[in-house]
Chains A and B, each alone.
Chain A
Amino acid sequence: MSKIVKLKKGFDLKLAGKAPLEHINLPAVQTFAIKPTDFPGIQRPKVLVNEGDTVKAGTPILIDKAMDQVIYAAPVSGEIVEIKRGEKRKLLEIKILADQTISYEEFGKIDLNQDRDALAAKLASCGVWPNVIQRPFGVVANPAETPRAIFISGFDSHPLAPDFGFTLAGEENYFQAGIDALAKLTSGKVHLSVDGSKSVPSIYSGIKNAEIHQFSGPHPAGNVGTQIHHIAPINKGELVWTVTPIGVVQIGKAVLEGVYDASKVIVLTGSELTKTGYVKTFVGANVSSFVKGNLNSGHVRVISGNVLTGEKVPMEGYMGFYHNQVTVIPEGDYEEFLGWLKPSSAKLSFHKAIGMLSFLNKGEFKVDTNTHGEERPFVVTGVFEKVMPMDILPTYLFKAIISEDFDEMEELGLYELVEEDVALCEFVDPSKNDLQGLVRNGIELLMYS
């Protein structure tokens, strides 16, 4: 345990619908999908399969023509039932009807003693690579490049997030193998951050080849961006990679077993689910098995991911590649008489403006998707700074992006951020701006200029 970083800024959202640490049984998921839209960096996606083809878990089904050495593979074996396209033939979903028992493409075990580039190329060819994200920009990493360091956040501090100590229990060997592989890929260290306010789960104890850091404090303490900032911040011209613990385990399985095993334990949460808990499934699962017959009420929003950074999906939709959580909350499309004035302790707010009494409420909040107000120009100042535990001036950064001032964006630290790092700013903003979208716009301006 090298250093303990105690963060003060941030905000923990206490929401109703937390899942108990237990597995629940639900009808098996029939279909899975890979959505190119889950990968922000993908430029020219090309489908490698046709409708009706059968694939194994690990069969390449998609590449990015701009970086074709990275394979996006089928998470399960089965039949390609639909390749869904949207406007201008934009590729939306590649759906696979899963076999009863999953069969795997065999790549052969991976020798960690081979040279760095060969190892990276091997990992890129077997389906696990999209787990490796580069910063700046938050896009899938280029295996040909060598990062200064690799960062892994060992815990998720988002609202109702899964407990990795529980979901990854028993995967210790794979996790270690994943770390060993990653350690070969960087010129620097592998940094693993754990929750400093809890005891270290078995999966991380005794880990070798990684430097362990402890972080404590409110969300976003668990965000890898926050952790990078406090361990070794990213400067212009530098490159670091990030991987989630689930990604590390998948890499470890590829190393030790020679297969792309896309299975993972996800958590079902949210106030509108009758049964919350943990479910074992695969990447890109159809959510209908999780929510059908498991709802308290009819008018809900199903979210792949958490309430701060997740994405609305239809009842028959699919989980995002990087999501380990499904959250179901009520839709908020109602008008409320004098809703902007009425005092309430039941409404969740970071602010304490007149009538906002949520700070008196120590219980859990049932929140819906209502925006509680319309979009406005930035008026309130200083509030973003209170939830941003980095030496970054968010208000000025946002204004720099709005005015497309490239130098300012760079100098004010856009290289350090991806969407999730400003999700809390977006939540607390009384002017209701789409700040995550704004940050992605800024990143794209810098990337493609």
Chain B
Amino acid sequence: MADEEKQPKAPGGATHDPDEQARRAVEAVWRIEAPRLVAGLAGLVHDLGLAEELAQDALVAALTQWPAEGVPRNPGAWLMTTAKRRAIDQIRRNERLARNLQQLGREQEIEQRLRSAPTEPAAPGEIQDDLLRLVFTACHPVLSREARVALTLRLLGGLGTEEIARAFLVAEPTVAQRIVRAKRTLAEKQVPFEVPQGAALGERLASVLEVVYLVFNEGYAATAGEDWMRPRLCEDALRLARVLQGLLPNEPEVHGLAALLELHASRAGARTDAAGDPVLLLEQDRSRWDRLLVLRGFAALARSEEQARARGLASGPYALQAAIAACHARAAGADATDWAAIARLYGALAAQTGSPVVELNRAVAVGMAEGPEAGLALVDALAATAPALGDYHLLPSVRGDLLARLGREDEARAEFARAVSLTRNRAEQALLRQRAGMQEPSQGPTMEG
């Protein structure tokens, strides 16, 4: 540092074309500001499609003016003022917007609202309220899951239709259609642009959290060799979860979800080997887990538990899953894992969700905490009571694992062979095939990373 030779620094970049740089700056500001802008406008015009159109108009104005004049000190306020002014102008000149509004029979009402809106920049609190309304509207249960995901990524994640299409491996027109239809549905069903109150909030919040969780998993399931857009979904979901923490600081499950995503994301660098093949959780090199994300996960989990205690609530499903992930993150090595604690947490989660898959995971944890005998008893009881699990490859795979640890090799190999026939994932198939023909007992359960 001290003896570094200092190069004279040119302002700006080295060889950037100034126009290109200005355009990139405008677009970056736009991505930062768009969710709040759309939310603020939707708060005025009570229509998502219209709000987005007005926001786009403001972007066009910014692209025209900022490269010459520089980015204003408060770009968010500039965009909002410009969007409102242009909307009023359009209504007055009876242009496209006015005709759209006439069709809706809302021309006068909207003009009135735009005119009476305060001109000074909105207070941070108001912006947060509008954003929260936007979140609940984009994730409204009148929309299909796909539509909720697409609309949320578009309006709150700032992704374009092309990016969403690539991330979800569907055609772009499909995504564009989904978004158009979603906006139309919200307008036709006259979904109010508001935050649900009282008992409805919990139910509606579940739908919001599910959207963020789905986005994360879509990215998390993609392996390193795939298109970079897919893993990037994890980043988008993480950001959304952190935004939600700021918007709903008293909701334990919001912090629970954030904790779960931070902790799962912390393992991203260790989940695949050099060849790009998946590495099971217990075999991962823990030095490659991201310490910062682990600590953020712990902090979010602590906030979740604190909020639950304050409101006299039991930990919800996201907080419980985060607590399980935290047990793994706290163990310095796989052999230091507190399996008894994990088994208890899976028990609480199974009681809440009634999910046989959760019960199967509990069997794995019990098998680790109390020995393969105890685990096998649970798996066999589960197989008898949950026929739906019969076609799920992890059941024979877990059972094979426990049998192998009991030294019942032939039975174990038969289970692995059955598991091979039930999975379509090639990497998992390879792993199971190897175990179906293997001689030595295994190192642990086949938990996913």
Do they bind each other? no
B-side interface residues toward A, CB under 8 Å? none
A-side interface residues toward B, CB under 8 Å? none
